[in-house]
Amino acid sequence: MSASARLLRLVSVLSARPSWTNHELAERLDVTERTVRRDIAKLRELGYGIESGAGPWGGYRLRRDSALPPLNLDDEEALAVAVALRETALTGTLGSDQAALSALLKLQGLLPRHIASRLAEFDAAVEQTPRAGEDPVSSKVLLELAGACRGEVRIGLSYRDRLDRASVREVDPYRLVRTRNRWYLVAMDVVRGQWRTFRADRVTGVERTGAPTAISDPPDAARLVAEMLTSNYPVYATVRLAVPLHRARQLVPPGAGLHEPDGPDVTVITLGGNDLDELVTRLLRLATPVRVLAPAELRDAFRARLAALLVEEPSG
């Protein structure tokens, strides 16, 4: 998890109940207690009122009167927020409810003239094209799902599957994951007793049952979605890249492959494709040294492709 994502998650956790010990926060965020202390200090620098009690069980408390500090953005922050809202409004990531566009218009009216000018320059230089395969999801649905995850409450999920069959699933929501231009809900299917992934754009209704969730030993939500997305290919490859994990995830997004660190500077990736030729093309586009671990047929396909590329044309 990036530092920014971790800070956002920490604020969310602190808001969920009156007090947390350092140890509880470390377990909830899957980080060290030292990291929690450092992140608490960073949030205080950003204006969040976080109180700490004395002793090992004193805990941290987010003051309710400062859960949302006054909005005071510097130039780069204002431009970053405006660009992000513009992207959301134009791509329809949150559906057609125009919430992002409304927020963007309000923000533009508050921006200093020189920042508004920079944003205008950005607008003039950028062309927006539709993203293939992207299905917008209503921000109302996302907020309901996120609220259920945070509130740890069981829900009745009205859902339409890929064959457009309607059903109502009783689930314990755990996390929302965005990858490959889609949102996915990771939840425990109560009836089946299995962890499942649900596309948020196929959710037609969310109803809270009032019962608390019964989640134990939750999975890595992002990995579960990645496994689901890479589980239906006829051909798979396992390769070794001499790059650290964070760089490997930039080259092959989590939704396109499964990543396993092999030391601090090496990552093993499993990815799927429709045939060996497609995998060769994808791996060559990484523009970084690749060691093919399996299958052997992929190594042969690599050699054949490279031999064809290196054939010299006869001299005239």
DSSP state letters, the chain: --HHHHHHHHHHHHHHSS-B-HHHHHHHHTS-HHHHHHHHHHHHHTT--EEE-SSTT--EEE-GGGSS------HHHHHHHHHHHHHHHHHTTTTTS-HHHHHHHHHHHHS-HHHHHHHHHHHHH----PPTT-----HHHHHHHHHHHHHTEEEEEEEE-TT--EEEEEEEEEEEEEETTEEEEEEEETTTTEEEEEEGGGEEEEEEEEEEP---S---HHHHHHHHHTSS-SEEEEEEESS-HHHHHHHS-GGG-EEEE-STT-EEEEEEESSHHHHHHHHHTT-S-EEEEE-HHHHHHHHHHHHHHHPPPPP-
CB atoms within 10 A of CB 232: 7
Regions of the chain with pLDDT less than 70: 1-2, 4-5, 54-58, 64-73, 89-102, 104-106, 108-109, 119-136, 180, 311-316
CATH of the domain at 263: 3.30.70
Last residue of a domain, one of 160, 182, 214: 214
Is residue 49 included in any domain, yes or no? yes
What pLDDT digit, counting tens, does each position of 53-79 carry?
765 556 888 876 554 455 566 777 777
Kindly state whether residues 250 and 300 are assigned to the same domain.
yes
Is residue 220 included in any domain, yes or no? no
Is residue 137 included in any domain, yes or no? no
- Number of independent structural domains in the chain: 4
pLDDT at 105: 62
pLDDT at 36: 92
Nearest one of 269, 180, 171, 283 to 229, comparing CA atoms: 180
Distance, in Å, from the CA atom of 204 to the CA atom of 137, rounded to the nearest integer, reads: 10
Kindly state whether residues 236 and 306 are assigned to the same domain.
yes
Kindly state whether residues 165 and 203 are assigned to the same domain.
yes
The range of the structural domain enclosing residue 202 comes to 144-214
Is residue 208 included in any domain, yes or no? yes
Is residue 316 included in any domain, yes or no? no
pLDDT at 250: 87
Kindly state whether residues 236 and 304 are assigned to the same domain.
yes
Is residue 192 included in any domain, yes or no? yes
Kindly state whether residues 83 and 61 are assigned to the same domain.
no
Last residue of a domain, one of 66, 89, 117: 66
Distance, in Å, from the CA atom of 117 to the CA atom of 174, rounded to the nearest integer, reads: 42
Nearest one of 223, 109, 208, 236 to 151, comparing CA atoms: 208
Kindly state whether residues 269 and 290 are assigned to the same domain.
yes
Kindly state whether residues 160 and 121 are assigned to the same domain.
no
Kindly state whether residues 59 and 82 are assigned to the same domain.
no
Which class for 219: exposed (0-12), middle (13-18), buried (19 or more C-beta within 10 A)? middle
pLDDT at 98: 58
What pLDDT digit, counting tens, does each position of 271-296 carry?
888 899 999 998 998 988 899 999 99
User: What's the pTM value of the predicted model, to 2 decimals?
Assistant: 0.57
Kindly state whether residues 291 and 243 are assigned to the same domain.
yes
Is residue 272 included in any domain, yes or no? yes
Distance, in Å, from the CA atom of 104 to the CA atom of 110, rounded to the nearest integer, reads: 10
CATH of the domain at 148: 2.30.30
CATH of the domain at 14: 1.10.10.10
Distances (CA, A) of 47 to 8, 52, 65, 69, 214: 14, 15, 12, 6, 35
Kindly state whether residues 79 and 59 are assigned to the same domain.
no
Sequence-ordered list of residues with C-beta below 8 angstroms from that of 119, at least 6 positions apart, any chain: 79, 82, 83, 86, 108, 111
Is residue 224 included in any domain, yes or no? no
Kindly state whether residues 203 and 182 are assigned to the same domain.
yes
Phi, psi (deg, nearest 5) at residue 239 = -130, 160
